[in-house]
Structure formats: structure tokens, C-alpha cells
Amino acid sequence: MVETGIQLSPEVTHSMGHYLMAVRDQLKEMGYARVTDVASRLNVSRSSVSAALASLRDKGYLTEDKNHFFQMTKEGQNLAAQIYANHLLLATFFHKILGVKEDAALVDACQIEHLLSAETSRKLYCMVHYFLDNPAEIKKLKSNIRDYQHTCPRRDVCELCQTEQECPFTDLDEY
């Protein structure tokens, strides 16, 4: 099981996370990873991959041998494992608990998987497991939310939509 709560580095961007995950997947499937392999896997240019992998190498997540084969360091393996764990956690939360369509849940999880703090990951993990272990609670939550008739209070009171425009959450008929 992946240890939850590894603090993700703020210097790893969304795209760098994708490159790191592509290296991980390439290594799992083929046992080696080169710039060309990652470029082909992600359908991007070799120059983009070369720059990204050099950055990941410089940050200590990858090593590169004299033949330009990349391996993941222990830090890189831990980071990739946490990104993947966050992805599964978020996708599960969005789809199984909130009822978001699976395709949208996967896309949304992909967008934020590398941004979660260790604290948020741990607490979300506990909450998701609670609901998965208690499926009746998921039904109850969804029913309560569906039945809840939210109307936005005055703008100066609502902590979610303090805006001068109309509340962006007023049309919630689809829950």
C-alpha cells in the first residue's frame, strides 16, 4: 500500500507530474525509459520531453546514465506513487461519492492530483474510506444534498461566493 501523506513538491507542475508518471509507466512496461519513449507515449515532441526530464533529473527525481536511459530515484518513485494515489483517491471521491460522471471525475482528478497537501490527502483518504465502508451513508448524503434547497444568502455573508456577480452556484438542479 502507498504511504499516504508524502508532501508533494510545489516545484512539480501538472505537466512535470505527467512526465514523471510516463517515465514510471515506461519503466514498468519496458524496463527502460528514454526521451524518445516518453515522447511517443505522451505524443509530444522530444525536445519538450528532454527539457522536462532534465528538470526532473536536476530536482533529484530521475537519474540518467551515459546512454541516456532514465531511472527513477527513490524520491521520484515516492512522488510518482503519491501522485497516482491522489489520482485514484480524487477520482473515487468525485465519481463514487459525489456522483460525478466517471470521465469528468478522471479528468478533474488528473488536473489536481499533484496539488494536494499531505494533510488534505490523509483527511480525504479517511473520508472516502468511511463512505466506501458505509455505502448507505453515500446514498444518505446524496439524498440529503438533493433535498437541500440552497439559496444564497446575502453576498457579504456567504463564504463560498463572495462576489459582486450573481452566485455561480445557484443552479444546482442536477445533484
Say how far apart CA 117 and CA 108 lie, in whole Å: 17
Q: What's the pLDDT score for residue 172?
A: 57
| Cβ-contact 113, 8 below 8 angstroms | no
Contact 62, 47 (CB under 8 A): no
- Alpha-carbon distance 19 to 91, whole Å? 20
Q: What is the pLDDT of residues 99-113, one digit of tens each?
A: 999 999 999 999 898
Distance CA 132, CA 172 (A): 25
* Per-residue model confidence (pLDDT) at position 165: 67
N residues, the chain: 175
| pLDDT beyond 90 at 11 | no
Tens of pLDDT, residue by residue over 30-85, are: 999 999 999 999 999 999 999 999 999 999 999 999 999 999 999 999 999 999 99
pLDDT at position 152 is 64
User: pTM for this structure?
Assistant: 0.80
CB of 33 closer than 8 Å to CB of 20: no
Q: All 3 cell numbers of residue 24?
A: 514510471
Cα 34 from Cα 14, distance rounded (Å): 20
Contact 80, 36 (CB under 8 A): no
Per the listing, cell 468525485 goes with 94
β partners of residue 64: 70
Query: Looking at residues 123-144, what average pLDDT do you find?
Result: 93
Q: Which three cell numbers stand for residue 25?
A: 509507466
The domains found in the chain, sorted by start residue, are: 1-133 (1.10.10.10)
Nine-digit cell string for 138: 453515500
What's the rounded mean pLDDT across residues 126-141? Answer: 94
* Cell numbers that stand for 116 in this block: 494536494
Where does the pLDDT of residue 14 fall: very low under 50, low under 70, confident under 90, or very high at 90 and above?
confident
CB 73 within 8 A of CB 63: yes
Task: Report the pLDDT value the prediction gives residue 150, as an integer from 0 to 100.
Answer: 64
Q: Report the mean per-residue pLDDT for the chain.
A: 86
pLDDT average, residue stretch 139-159:
73
